[in-house]
Structure 1
Amino acid sequence: MPADIAPVPPGREPVPCRVVVCRDCCCGTPKITGVDHAAQTARLRALVPVRVSECLDVCEQANVVVVQPSAEGRAAGARPVWFGLVNDPEATEDIAAWALAGGPGVAPLPDILDLYTLTPPRRCTSS
């Protein structure tokens, strides 16, 4: 290791991208036919940290996957990137590869993933 690069102390490894998969009322259910939801989640989990969420309120875009930036990406000002209609294995692989490459704020978004990006819903809070 070069002298100007300090080793990462144990327990202080960089925080990677995390992937959130919606698995509630529409996403991850038989309503989306022809998709092996369990296999999709398992494949993502094999490559990146995954959290399963309840409804993310964009049911018309099921299956929804959100890539949250790593610590490095957040430091660069990145925000989570939302993907909808992730209903084929190739899209799952493309998302996982991008997350492994660094994801939001670290790696450029591959052109193919532009087809799946969506604007997240605005959360309303009552006063």
Structure 2
Amino acid sequence: MPTRTFLIGAARERPCTLVVCRGCCCGNPRKHPRTDHAGQVERLRAAGAEHGFQVRTTDCLGPCDQANVVVVQPSAAGRRSGGRARWVGFAMDDDCTEELVRWAAAGGPGLAEPPATLELQFIRPPRDARVRSRR
């Protein structure tokens, strides 16, 4: 007999979420002085409010040599369609920020294909994140 999964409450309708690293290297104006880190988060949050996706910041995600890192998590519908979190590295310029907005606004992983140029920035998550995702 097949296993049935029931989603309750907010998990049933959870939107696509961008998790923006703001740890030791990501978001650090001394290490990356030509990037408007605060402006990037403001722009993502404004777009999220407009298009219905969420934006969170977090402490260090791990791949510091690929800063700035953004994890694009699928919505509940995207996950049901097979979407999985995608890690984007080197997310520091306006073009990348705009591509993140367009992809999240279109539904994100599982519901919309990422822009081809954004795919070039996909990175492998750190080992501990890969282990956690298999649980």
Report if the CA contact (8 A) 2:12-2:76 is conserved. Answer: no
What is the distance in 2 between the residues matched to 1:97 and 1:58? 24
Q: TM-score, normalised by structure 1?
A: 0.84
Q: TM-score, normalised by structure 2?
A: 0.80
What is the distance in 2 between the residues matched to 1:89 and 1:110? 14
Name the SS for the 1:45 alignment partner. helix
Tell me the residue number matched to 1:6: none
What is the distance in 1 between the residues matched to 2:88 and 2:11? 30
Which residue identity lines up with residue 96 of structure 1 in the other structure?
A: V
Name the SS for the 1:123 alignment partner. helix
Unmatched 5+ stretches in structure 1: 1-10
User: For the pair shown, which has the larger CA radius of gyration, 1 or 2?
Assistant: 1
Pairwise CA distance, 1:15: 2.5
Structure 1 stretches of 4+ moved >6 Å: none
- 1:50-79 CA distances to partner (integer Å, 9 max, x unpaired)? 111100000000000111000111111211
Number of equivalences: 115
Tell me the residue number matched to 2:104: 99
Superposed counterparts of 1:44-59, under 5 Å: 44-48=44-48, 49-59=54-64
Match status 1:20 vs 2:25 = no
What is the distance in 1 between the residues matched to 2:72 and 2:127? 17
Tell me the residue number matched to 1:108: 113
Tell me the residue number matched to 1:3: none
Aligned-pair identity in percent equals 51
RMSD after superposition: 1.9
What is the distance in 2 between the residues matched to 1:13 and 1:106? 15
